[in-house]
Amino acid sequence: MRTGIKVFAPASVANVGVGYDILGFALEKPGDEIIVRLSDKPGLRITKITGAKGKLPTAIEKNTASFAALKMLQHIGEEGRGIEFEIHKKMPFGSGLGSSAASAVAGVMAVNEILRRPLTKRELLPFAVMGEQIADGAWHADNVAPSLLGGMILIRSNETLDVHRLPIPKGLYATVIYPKVEVLTKHSRGILSDQTSLKQCIEQTGNLAGFIIGMYNSDIDLIGRSLKDVIIEPQRAQLIPHFYAVKNAVLEAGALGCSISGAGPSIFALSTNSLIAERVGEEMTRIFTDAKIENQLFISKINQEGAVLL
């Protein structure tokens, strides 16, 4: 068997409360792994999928990872190149942690690596977004960009993929809990009203601006005051059992802020150090466990690397 390469792409938290579709950050774990090998047989082929419980298609144009890679290969004039894919899903589906984005990122980066990097990491972004788009039908980079590039990412424009990294204050930790209840992204987007009051718009844009300034100045108090979503969270909270009980408990435990990760049902909180992050995690776990809802906890620094070659 030919030697292959393995790429890891991390999970991500999108929206970050105040930045619907325009803010996201990468976690250290979980994430997806993809192994690619060159083949004498022309074209892309998916030879193996693990961890997906039969939920992922093997058709190249229907799978986020292979579709992203195909679009990149077409762009560089190498669509006939023989490449075999192994996809190893190591994160939950429908969790609000960017599962499809991680697959798309890992797929496009793995192919780029095995072809000795014809494109830069940043140049891979549009193809990864194309891959994720086939999973949820939306063109947005708030999961894909941090999974690929790492860090906390601001997307000024999804249309043009004008993305920028924000500085991360020293010691910042994320605590994320995934309660194992089903929240479909399409449903979670579908319940959102297309009407926003002027008052809400003013408050939300003030919070977004304050959050960005807080990140640049390492102003922890400003970050905490700004992490308040007055538009999306109130509409989506109904989809997540015990959301407000969790939010109130983690703020009492010292978290800077707490909101829904992506489309949910995962909930994230930011804290100023690992001790508080762990205490926050204990509160999250306690509430869902007491409610007899199976859950999975992740505590992580903001992942500054994004997708990496293993």
Q: Are 175 and 281 in contact (CB under 8 A)?
A: yes
Q: Which two tokens stand for residue 310?
A: 């293993």
Q: Which two tokens stand for residue 141?
A: 């980079």
Q: Find, among 111, 119, 115, 118, the residue nearest to 68 by Cα.
A: 111
Indicate the length of the chain as a whole number. Answer: 310
Dist CA 269 CA 250 (whole Å) = 8
Q: Are 122 and 145 in contact (CB under 8 A)?
A: no
Question: Which residue among 185, 233, 272, 283 is the active-site one?
Answer: 185
Dist CA 119 CA 81 (whole Å) = 16
Residue 88 neighbours by CB under 8 Å, 6+ apart: 32, 33, 34, 35, 49, 50, 51
Catalytic status, residue 132? yes
Dist CA 297 CA 269 (whole Å) = 12
- Work out the number of other CB atoms within 10 angstroms of the CB of residue 194: 4
Question: Which residue among 33, 132, 233, 283 is the active-site one?
Answer: 132
Dist CA 71 CA 129 (whole Å) = 10
Dist CA 61 CA 163 (whole Å) = 26
Give the up-direction half-sphere exposure of residue 278: CA atoms within 13 A in the CB hemisphere.
3
- For residue 89, the Cα-to-chain-centroid distance in whole angstroms is 14
Dist CA 109 CA 113 (whole Å) = 6
Dist CA 306 CA 117 (whole Å) = 16
For the chain, report the end-to-end CA distance as a whole number of angstroms: 19
Catalytic status, residue 79? no
Share of the chain residues as helix, strand and coil, in percent rounded to the nearest 5: 35, 25, 40
Q: Give the residue numbers annotated as catalytic, written as ranges.
A: 132, 185
